[in-house]
Structure formats: structure tokens, C-alpha cells
Chain A
Amino acid sequence: MKVINLHQQEKELIGQALGNNRHAQQKLYAKFAPKMLGVCRQYIKDVHQAEDIMITAFMKVFTNLRNFEHKGSFEGWIRRIMVNECLSFMRVQKKVKFIEDEDYFEESFNNIESQLSIDDLQSLIDDLPDGYKMVFNLYVIEGYKHQEIADLLGINEGTSRSQLSHARKILQDNINKLKNYSNGTE
């Protein structure tokens, strides 16, 4: 019942926001902004810059609200807009280019204990090159398939696989270094 009520409330807010009701828009913003800022932070290292992109993406959410067809979750719809905005920022502002490299290898992480905090993981991902980071985030965190990633980024599916394998290798190496460092200090 609570879920239904929440869903109904969300639908009402969306309806009011369509009529440029600023109060309804503020409520929707307050509900989804923290999570969406986390999404942006995955792609952009600077929090302030990530916030700017989040605001721009919310502008697109409210201006294109009539395009939401209530078929999936509203959060998922907003999240896709955030990811697209981050990708366009990285391609345009940072001018990320992908080297067409279809030599990939199946790489998986060693079965190690997950003692790393989210901040540690974030710092490891931040250290990845932009191209590797984008593919890694889209595949691992957002759950896109390689063909979908290739369409989003305008690359080949093979290049997407290659980028992911390189990202995993670098992350593995960095995790091992951290582990060795922590074992060494202990």
C-alpha cells in the first residue's frame, strides 16, 4: 500500500510539474537529486562540476517531462538522462576519444575479499583513463550490454569489450597495490 501510495504521489507530482508548478518540481528535485549527483560523480571526478551537470540534466528532465510515458520507473528515466548528459560532457568538454582496439581478453577480478570502501573504489575508478572509465561504469554499474555501449559511445562492440578488459586489468593492478600496501603497513 505504501508503495502504491508513493507511486501515486509521484504521479501527482509529475502531473503538477508538467504545469510548471515550481513546488512540485522542487519536491521531485529534492527526492532524486542526491542519488543523481552520485551518478554524475561516477563519471566526473570534481563534485562541483558533477553538480553543474546534474542541474543541467534536471533542466532537461523538467523541460521534457511530457515525454515520460509512465511505462518504467521515473527514477530510471531520470538516471538515463543523467548518464547521457555525463557522456556528452566527457565527449565534448574533455574530448574523450576511443582507440579502435579489438584485442581484448577475458579479465576478471581475483576472488579477493571486498574490504575496500566505496571511497576507495571511487578513487580507483577515478584513476582510470576516461574511455576505460566510461565503458566500465556503463557495463558494471549501469548494466548496459556491449552493443548498447557501442551505440551510446559511437564505437564498435569489439572496442567496448577491449576498453572494459583494459579497465579491469588496471583496476586489478591498483587493488593489488592497495592490498599489498595495507598488508605492508599492518
Chain B
Amino acid sequence: MERNNNIEQQIREQFSAREIQPSAAAWDRLDAMLSIAEEKKARRFVLPLRTIGIAAAILVFVTLGTLWYTQTENPKGDAIDGVATKENTPKGNASQPNTIQNEARPATMPESIAEQSNQVTQSTNAATVIESHKPAPRNQNNNRTQQKAVVNQPKANNHPMVNTPVNQEGVAQNNIDKVKSEPSPKLIPNTTEQAVAQHQESTAKVKVSANSLLSEVDGELELTFREKVLKKVSKNYKEAKVALANRNYN
């Protein structure tokens, strides 16, 4: 291709050297654009700091919230256990009304007190002697037979067979009388409480165990999940911190 063409040569020379004065506002526009570009560059370095700070604040709030949530959950767990125990007591009543009713009404049920006292007396030798004298009423209610035994005891005191265990009987009578006259809520309820507690424990073991197990499992799961989340959050925060430190160093 020939480049020494006159027209093309003229065009090349004239156009390569041509100057056109730009307007006065052209530099102002360029100055503004340069300023904006410099500000953007400065913001690029600042923004990560801000974002990291905001992220750190959010992490702190999240951790505080999870800690507060765990603390508030513990009373709830206790309440649940309490409810479970309370719930079990009526169920325990359904299964064994005699003993629990005794606990509920220690003063108003002389028959039950007598029964309980009879439990005490049975542990002693006097009860066996009384029973030997009155075999027939045993087939009936224990309360009535033992009451009769108590009533008949003064008569039997004169009997020679009965003399020796009379003192024990007397002691038992005294005990029974005392129990009758003053159904002490201390002794009997203790036994009843023990019995009730045993029943409750047995029932609680049977009935509360499932719920307690579930709650324990849930608690364990939640704890592990929370722990995981907290660990992840703290790890990410540390990584971000290290990255920022490296960037600043660079």
C-alpha cells in the first residue's frame, strides 16, 4: 500500500498536529471525577473495617442472646420437673388411694391413723398376742378387728396368758391411744411421706423418666447445637480479625 499519496500525507500531517482547545468546564468535570474516584478508593479500605465492626457487634449480641436464653431455660426446666412431680402425685393417688389419702387427711381419718398405728404395732410383739386372742375378726377389716382388740384389751389384762405381754400391749395401747387422741402429724406423716415418696419415686421413675429423658436429650442437643454455633461464630470472627490485621500490615 502506497503511503506517499499526497492527500493521505497531507491528512496525516495536518490531523496529527491539530489542536482544539477544550472548554473551561472540561477540567472542572475531570477534577470532580478524579475526586470521586479517590474517595471510592479510600472507602474501599474503610468499608471492610466497618463491616467487620458491625459483624463483631452482631456476634456479641448473638452470643449474649444465646447465653441469656440458656439461663432463662434452666428455670423452665426446673418448673417442668416440678410439674412432672406434681402431676405424678395425683397419679400416685389413683393407684394407691389409701396411703396418699392419709397424707392428705392426717387428722380427719381416725381409721387410717389406726391402720397406720397398727402398722407400727405389728412391728412389736403385742400385736401378735392380740391377734392370737381374736382370730375370728381377722377376716374382717383390719381396722375394726384391731380396734376391737384394743377395746378388749382391758378385759384380757386379767387373763394369765396375757399378763406378760400386757406391758407391751399397754405400751402399744398407749401408743395407739396417743395416736388416736393426738394423731401426730410428725411420726405418721413421716412414714406416710416415706411411703408416698417411695411410691412417688417408683412412679416418678416410671412416668417422669420419659419426659426427663426427652428434656435431657433436647437439652443436650440444644447445648451441642449452641456450642457449635458459638464455636463457628467465634472462629469466623477470629479469622476475620486475622485477615484484617494482615491487610493492615500489607
Q: Are B6 and A33 in contact (CB under 8 A)?
A: no
Partner of B23, one of A20, A26, A51, A111: A51
- Chain A residues, CB < 8 A from B18: 35, 38, 41, 118
Q: Are B33 and A59 in contact (CB under 8 A)?
A: yes
- Chain B residues, CB < 8 A from A54: 22, 26
Inter-chain CA distance A30–B15, complex, in Å, is: 19
Contact string, A135-177, partner B, CB cutoff 8 A, digits 1/0?
0000011010000000000000000000000000001000100
- Chain B residues, CB < 8 A from A25: 34
Q: Among the interface residues A55, A62, A116, A171, which one has the most CB atoms of the partner chain B within 10 A? A: A55
With both beta carbons as reference points, the residue of chain A lying nearest to B31 in the complex is identified as: A22
Give chain A's interface secondary structure class: helix
Q: Are A42 and B15 in contact (CB under 8 A)?
A: yes
Cβ of B29 within 8 Å of any chain A Cβ, yes or no, is yes
Q: Among the interface residues B1, B17, B22, which one has the most CB atoms of the partner chain A within 10 A? A: B22
Give chain B's interface secondary structure class: helix
- Chain B residues, CB < 8 A from A26: 27, 31
Cβ of A181 within 8 Å of any chain B Cβ, yes or no, is no
Which size class do B's interface residues fall under? 20 to 34
Min C-beta distance of A25 to chain B, whole Å: 7
Total CB contacts across the A-B interface at under 8 A: 82
Cβ of A112 within 8 Å of any chain B Cβ, yes or no, is yes
Partner of B11, one of A20, A34, A140: A140
- Chain A residues, CB < 8 A from B78: none
Q: Are A47 and B20 in contact (CB under 8 A)?
A: yes
With both beta carbons as reference points, the residue of chain B lying nearest to A62 in the complex is identified as: B34
Q: Are A37 and B20 in contact (CB under 8 A)?
A: yes
Partner of B26, one of A33, A113, A121, A171: A33
Q: Which of B92-115 contact A (CB under 8 A)?
A: none
Cβ of B181 within 8 Å of any chain A Cβ, yes or no, is no
Inter-chain CA distance A106–B30, complex, in Å, is: 44
Min C-beta distance of A127 to chain B, whole Å: 14
Q: Are B15 and A38 in contact (CB under 8 A)?
A: yes
Min C-beta distance of A16 to chain B, whole Å: 14
- Chain B residues, CB < 8 A from A22: 31, 34
Q: Which of A103-127 contact B (CB under 8 A)?
A: 106, 108-109, 111-114, 116, 118, 121-122, 125
Q: State the 6 A-B residue pairs at the shortest beta-carbon distance, nearest first.
A: A34-B19, A38-B18, A109-B7, A37-B20, A114-B10, A118-B14
Besides A51-B22, A112-B7, A140-B12, 9 new A-B residue pairs in contact (Cβ under 8 A), listed by A number: A22-B34, A33-B26, A54-B22, A55-B26, A55-B33, A58-B30, A118-B15, A122-B15, A171-B7
